[in-house]
Amino acid sequence: MAGESTSGVEFIKQAVAGSNRFVTGIALLAALGGFLFGYDTGIIGQALPFIQKQFHASTFASSWIVASLLIGAIVGAALSGYLSEKISRKWTKCLSGCVYVIGALASAFAQDVTWLIAARFVLGLSVGTASFVAPEYIAEQTPPKIRGGTVTFNQLMVTLGILVAYIAGYGLSHLTDNWRWMLGIAAAPGALLAISMIFVPHSPRWLVKQGRKDEARKVLQRTRADDHDVDEEIDDIAEVTDKESNWGLRDLFGPRVRPLMVVGIALAVFQQFVGVNTVIYFATTILKYTGETTNSAVMLAVFVGVTNFVVTVIAMLLLDWVGRRALLINGTIVLTIALFLLGCYFYFPALSHGAPWVGLVALIVFIIGFALGLGPVFWLMISEIYPLQFRSQAMAVATICNWAANFIVSYFFLQETEAIGKGATFWIYGVLGIAALAFFWFKVPETKHRRLEEIEREIGGEELAEAVDSE
Ligand code: BGC
């Protein structure tokens, strides 16, 4: 429940407390999925300029090299709901690690653009799966008190993955075959994920659903405090999973639940439509537009990665204190201002020629706004606003929409900058930032320290709250 979850300081205190150490360890291993998601997001922008040079890739081909992973991720996210039920969360994550290793090595050995596009599609299957199953598995293993924190922790690992990718991009850029190394070394954390998943326990929730209550009890005895009533929790899980089976995809879009779905999907789409991944994928390219050489642009991108990571840590500490809504709204204001600044920077030649540092400052301000608000808040809110009965399905829909929106923005970015110019492209994102702001202001409720029923009443009215209560 929303009111039970925590993040920030309390989470850190709880996570290192004796009884939670085992579960924190499991969460760390599982969050390797988030790390891989981030590494991949961060590395392609670093590798792209070198790939373009070697294969003489056109803008169209380059867009597909970036976007094929996203198509794979949409498919992966869609499949993961089914797989995580069928073969378990644990084995889905193990499989995702194996597929990642295959995709990373296949990318590293690519002989032409088509091969690389196909390899990145395979990689996408793994990344999309991880983006859904990692938070799901972590949330199910952790006691409710630290659940909010562990979900945000996954986002932190995403930003760490991006940062490591930027550093690897810089460190490896001097090697021959640099881009092959950049794409290939990701096989190592992929293998670590696959191997470590063999040793972690199944999710107790999945075990109860399979009727394997004794095994679920054993897992809960290891992951919960000594004085915790394990049997009561098993009964609760059984009750919720029973209700859950009464909810189908059609109910998700029925009149009762629609308002909640609209909030989750809007957060998913706006998270991408403000152009975050054009900044993450194309940080190097954008910095090159500002007149930097490829190597120094790769180095400057590291600053963007460090800022993203550090500000996500700060957001984690602030989420429970100032609340999700305040961070979301203020963060979106900051990033929207940065988008208009980037637009002006590219539109007015005097600015880009006379003051190249303005481009870097605008990128940093943008990432500060994103990491404070939309970055962590989207993933956290979709784990908080839905009643348990249909949380998995609803989160899967939001995750798929997030990848689809990511695809649309990333695929069109390079072509858009060629067709209408870089300035106008960033202004469009800025206008979408204003639209996001208006939506958040009027439609997104505060979820900090609130009971789920109150949130449902605010978004969906009495009718939804009563329907969910009586299911
Ligand atoms: C988004 C990713 C993005 C990352 C940047 C995540 O919340 O879903 O698309 O690359 O944040 O930190």
What pLDDT shows up at residue 295?
Answer: 73
pLDDT at position 450:
65
Q: What is the pTM of this model?
A: 0.87
Q: How far apart are CA 461 and CA 108, in angstroms?
A: 52
Is pLDDT at 15 greater than 80 in this prediction?
A: no
Q: How far, in Å, CA of 5 to CA of 414, rounded? A: 41
Answer yes or no: are the C-beta atoms of 215 and 143 closer than 8 Å.
no
Confidence of residue 415 (pLDDT cuts 50, 70, 90): confident
Is 389's C-beta closer than 6 angstroms to any atom of ligand 1? no
Ligand 1 geometric centre to CA of 213 (Å) = 36
Atom of ligand 1 nearest to the CA of 406: 9
What pLDDT band is residue 455 in, cutting at 50, 70 and 90? low
pLDDT score, position 43:
92
Q: Which of 237-246, 367-376, 419-428 shows the lowest mean pLDDT across its residues?
A: 237-246
Ligand 1 pocket, residue 308 CB under 6 Å: yes
Q: Are 179 and 47 in contact (CB under 8 A)?
A: yes
Task: Output the CA 407–ligand 1 centroid distance in Å.
Answer: 13
pLDDT band at residue 454 using 50, 70 and 90 as cut-offs: low
Give the chain's mean pLDDT. 86
Of 88 and 138, which is predicted with more confidence?
88
Binding site membership of 301 for ligand 1 (Cβ less than 6 Å) = no
Residue among 398, 406, 341 at smallest CA distance from 369: 341
pLDDT at position 9 over 70? no
User: Quick check: CB of 41 below 6 Å from ligand 1?
Assistant: yes
Interval 171-198: pLDDT, tens: 998 899 999 999 999 999 999 999 999 9
Kindly report the protein residue whose alpha carbon is nearest to atom 12 of ligand 1.
Answer: 159
What pLDDT does 76 receive?
95
Judged against a pLDDT cut of 70, whether residue 430 lies above it is answered with yes
pLDDT on residue 2: 40
pLDDT at 318 over 60: yes
Closest alpha carbon to 90 in 195, 233, 11: 195
CA distance 60 to 82: 33
DSSP per-residue codes, 3-54: GG---THHHHHHHHSGGGHHHHHHHHHHTHHHHHHHHHHHHHHHHHHHHHHH
Decide if pLDDT at 397 tops 70.
Answer: yes
With a cut of 50, say whether residue 382 has pLDDT above it: yes
* Mutation test residue for ligand 1: of 158, 273, 311, the one with most atoms within 8 Å of CB: 158
Range of weakest confidence among 151-155, 209-213, 397-401? 151-155
pLDDT at 133 over 70: yes
Q: Per-residue pLDDT for 344 more than 80?
A: yes
Residue 1 predicted with pLDDT over 50: no
Of 160-174, 196-210, 242-256, where does mean pLDDT reach its minimum? 242-256
- What is d(CA 232, CA 149) in angstroms, rounded to the nearest whole number? 23
- Model confidence pLDDT, tens digit, residues 37-85: 899 988 998 899 899 999 999 988 998 999 999 999 999 999 988 898 8
